[in-house]
A and B are shown apart, each in its own frame.
Chain A
Amino acid sequence: NAGVTQTPKFQVLKTGQSMTLQCAQDMNHEYMSWYRQDPGMGLRLIHYSVGAGITDQGEVPNGYNVSRSTTEDFPLRLLSAAPSQTSVYFCASSYPSRGGSYNEQFFGPGTRLTVL
């Protein structure tokens, strides 16, 4: 299993541009989530999904959209990039329905985004 994969690893955008951060997992996990981590800070939840077709907002959802059309993929879209969105973005997944828990999440390697 590849686990949780994220692309791209690095990205530089100009203010106002849009882009999609990709996240995929091959573990058949129903729960997936996106976090952002600013320098020296903890992780903050942006959006999450408990299954295909179901998404919900986390702590800091403004400026981001998500969709979950398949169990495997959970892309994060930046609608109009702003310098305040410069951060490292982590995707995670878990499998609460099969003996696991929401709390035991598997994280991807992250995407470092810089908005100029």
Chain B
Amino acid sequence: LAKTTQPISMDSYEGQEVNITCSHNNIATNDYITWYQQFPSQGPRFIIQGYKTKVTNEVASLFIPADRKSSTLSLPRVSLSDTAVYYCLVAPRRSGGGNKLTFGTGTQLKVEL
């Protein structure tokens, strides 16, 4: 499975746009990029998934360049409630034997007033 590297922590203020970048240099052709959000004392929550270019939903946008060796999660106009750990994962969407998803240590985002 592709190894991912993301910043350990980031700080922001309410109302700003936050971009968290994840590096995945050895991403495979059939790998997708998935981001999760985890609040303290809760299980992770799926945010967004993409394969190439740009994906947008009601929570975030995911930008993936043509070489797919990195990706950027963009959170528009963050609020205090966006303070959480964000994980970047790279793995195939489907696999005959089941996937072994690997969560790294993630990026701790802290949003302040």
Contact = CB atoms under 8 A, between A and B. Distances in A.
Q: Do A and B come from one complex?
A: yes
Interface of A: 4, 31, 33, 35, 40-45, 48-50, 56, 58-59, 90, 92, 96, 101-110
Interface of B: 32, 34, 41-46, 49, 87, 89, 91-95, 97-106
Given A35-B103, A42-B106, A49-B98, 9 more contacts: A33-B101, A42-B105, A43-B44, A43-B87, A102-B93, A103-B34, A109-B42, A109-B43, A110-B43
A54 B43 CA distance: 24
Contact of A104 (B46, B92, B104): B46
A40 B38 CA distance: 12
Contacts of A33: 101
Contacts of B99: 48, 102-103
B104 A42 contact: yes
Interface of chain B: mostly helix, strand, loop or mixed: loop
Contacts, number: 72
B39 to A, nearest CB: 11
Contacts of A104: 34, 46, 49
B105 A41 contact: yes
B53 to A, nearest CB: 18
Nearest to A6: B43
20 contacts: A33-B101, A35-B103, A40-B105, A42-B104, A43-B87, A45-B102, A50-B97, A56-B97, A59-B100, A59-B102, A101-B32, A101-B49, A101-B93, A102-B92, A102-B101, A103-B92, A104-B34, A105-B46, A107-B42, A107-B44
B86 to A, nearest CB: 11
A102 B44 contact: no
B100 A45 contact: yes
Q: Which 9 A-B pairs have the closest CB atoms?
A: A107-B43, A101-B93, A102-B99, A43-B103, A42-B103, A50-B98, A103-B34, A42-B105, A90-B43
Nearest to B108: A40
B67 to A, nearest CB: 20
B16 to A, nearest CB: 26
Contact of A103 (B43, B49, B105): B49
